[in-house]
Amino acid sequence: MNLPKHYRRKISKRANVLIGYLPVPKLDCVPDKEERRKARRNLFHQCLKSLLKPLAEGENGWRWNATTEECGAYIQFLPLKPGQRGDLHNATYRTRDAVIDAMKEEAETGSAKFRRLGLFQAEPFWENHKYTDMGCLLTPDLLHQLHKGILKDHLTKWAAHIVGSKVIDERHKTMPEYHGMRHFKNGISAVSQWTGRELKEMAKVLLPVIADCNHEVVQAARSILDFVYLAHSSSLTDSEIEAMEKALRIFHEHKYVFRQSGALSTKKGFHAIPKIHMISHYSHIIRKLGTPDGYNTETSERLHIDFAKLGYRASNKVNATKQMALYIQRIEALAMHASYLDEQARIDQQDIRHRETAPELENAVLEFAETENPDDDDDEAWDEWYNAEEAEDDSGREELEGAGVFVGPTVELEDVAEADELVEAAEVAELRGHGWEQEQPHADDHHVRFHPVPEIVLAKTPTTSGISIDQIVELNSMDNLARDLTHFLRRENPNYDTPIRIASNTKLNLWSRARLFHSAPPFKPSEGPHTQVVRCQPAKIDRFERVLRPPRFDTVLVLRDKGKSGIHRE
């Protein structure tokens, strides 16, 4: 059964199964360094061979259709020398049989081909999986390869070497705040442990931070950011994949600037960075397996909290491994029994509103463990990612029901930031924004463009009520408020007979923010609806003249004339 991607990514749905943990021993008992590396490789392959043994041909009565032999797997290792891995190449892929033959020949009599291909002697776990393209198991990893790898470990460090670490920190501090974007008020040098969320937030402001650098540096950085942005899309067309390949080519054309400036000073240069080579395979793997967000490691990283950290906290810290395994078994048993009860309730009482109990039972069991160590390193950040992924989305409901999956009704509540801006859940559920407007194409332009038409919503209760215009002018230095408000009302009501005059003692209600509800874009409906917030908040100062809250004034572009083009509508 093929479940929708947005459903598989939700941890509570248990659509993904974690089949095992691999040991990571140091093997200090092996004195020789090369022998120790060899032992680690063999241990890795033996563990995976044991985990995947039921999937091997002929195991547990499996039968393979003869037609599947045409899918003879091709292992996606490029036959490149170590000095070429940092560049783009159009080399052919190695075949599975050729790699295995080279390994066997090396073990028996020695093989020049084995050394030429840069292989390591081992018993690969995929040797008995004849009909599987094992090269595709090395899937794109957005978190570790792009955000933590390319952007944080390399591009940011290169930029800091060129611009200066202090300058980078100062620019992050002075970056204007914006809703939904993190503000690094202390810079980025002081951050010792990065979470996936923080890495993504840093990437949003990286380009403006280095905007005044050498043109080649900006071109290289922009191309990588374009590549990362496209790689995060939930759906990609052929033209967008080609745009990813073009962005990667631009990066390789300008990457020399990092060596010239001394930012990259290692002997092997880019050829010693495996992640630079790995991203060259993204377009090929995306065409075969789909977009990377469907198999990103953020899901398994979040599972590590449930299966490892919480289990360890629930133990007595003595011989914790067995206790952790027992803990997981009990959690799974509770979840299975809760699912069974839900199924029985659905069968016996079709007319009773169904309420999912499996996540609630599991959370009740895990609650005490979470209180043991509430300030763990990055659990809070992962919980934010978890909550975002778990947000209900009905876009795939019909698809699930068509596949035979029972989907219980749920009650959706809008997450609000402040109590004074609470909107009733029943009303919020209907706020999905208006449809996007298609722009009339010009005679020489064949591109299709759409403009969002958001639904603008204010809270029922104003931030400040019954304040006179004189007070507003005094508090916010808005000397022309009465005049501008009069002009606005006259323009909006040209047929109003009575002259519009606003006295200085007129009392108004003030709102500090507005919400813009956008419907799903027609060119990417899988993205779903989203919400923007526009803030207009003056600084909050106490009686000791201390700033309790800095001012927040977001920039808004207002469309006045749809018939004109450009930011000034000329």
In this predicted structure, the answer to whether residue 179 has a pLDDT above a threshold of 70 is yes
Question: Domain map of the chain by residue range?
Answer: 52-138, 142-294, 426-463+511-570, 468-505
Q: How confident is the model at residue 150 (pLDDT cuts 50, 70, 90)?
A: very high
At residue 171, the pLDDT reads: 92
Of 416, 507, 423, 509, the C-alpha closest to 459 is: 423
In this predicted structure, the answer to whether residue 60 has a pLDDT above a threshold of 70 is no
Phi, psi of 455, deg, nearest 5:
-95, 115
The distance from CA 555 to its chain's CA centroid, rounded to whole angstroms, is 25
CA pair distance 273, 267, nearest whole angstrom: 12
Q: Higher-confidence residue: 245 or 415?
A: 245
In this predicted structure, the answer to whether residue 245 has a pLDDT above a threshold of 60 is yes
Average pLDDT taken over every residue of the chain: 77
Residue 565 identity (one-letter amino acid): S
At residue 57, the pLDDT reads: 58
> pLDDT tens, 499-510?
778 888 889 999
Q: Higher-confidence residue: 389 or 184?
A: 184
In this predicted structure, the answer to whether residue 37 has a pLDDT above a threshold of 80 is yes
Mean pLDDT value of segment 544-562: 83
Phi-psi region of 245 (alpha: psi -120 to 50; beta: other; left: phi over 0): alpha
Of 19, 23, 25, 24, the C-alpha closest to 51 is: 19
In this predicted structure, the answer to whether residue 123 has a pLDDT above a threshold of 60 is yes
Of 522, 476, 472, 534, the C-alpha closest to 502 is: 472
At residue 374, the pLDDT reads: 45
CA pair distance 276, 504, nearest whole angstrom: 64
Mean pLDDT value of segment 339-362: 63
CA pair distance 350, 339, nearest whole angstrom: 16
Highest mean pLDDT range out of 112-126, 151-165, 340-354? 151-165
In this predicted structure, the answer to whether residue 97 has a pLDDT above a threshold of 60 is yes
Percent of the chain with pLDDT over 90: 15
Q: Higher-confidence residue: 260 or 348?
A: 260
> pLDDT tens, 376-387?
545 555 555 455
Neighbours of 382 (CB within 10 A): 21
In this predicted structure, the answer to whether residue 394 has a pLDDT above a threshold of 60 is no
Phi-psi region of 252 (alpha: psi -120 to 50; beta: other; left: phi over 0): alpha
In this predicted structure, the answer to whether residue 239 has a pLDDT above a threshold of 70 is yes
At residue 420, the pLDDT reads: 38
Q: Higher-confidence residue: 378 or 189?
A: 189
Q: Higher-confidence residue: 197 or 377?
A: 197
> pLDDT tens, 430-469?
566 678 888 777 656 667 888 888 888 998 899 989 999 8
Q: Higher-confidence residue: 25 or 390?
A: 25
Q: How confident is the model at residue 135 (pLDDT cuts 50, 70, 90)?
A: low
Mean pLDDT value of segment 20-38: 86
At residue 69, the pLDDT reads: 34
Mean pLDDT value of segment 247-274: 89
Q: How confident is the model at residue 68 (pLDDT cuts 50, 70, 90)?
A: very low
At residue 80, the pLDDT reads: 44
Q: Which helix (H) or strand (E) holds 513?
A: strand 513-518
Say if residues 282 and 231 touch (Cβ distance below 8 Å).
yes
Say if residues 82 and 76 touch (Cβ distance below 8 Å).
no
At residue 227, the pLDDT reads: 95
CA pair distance 223, 210, nearest whole angstrom: 14
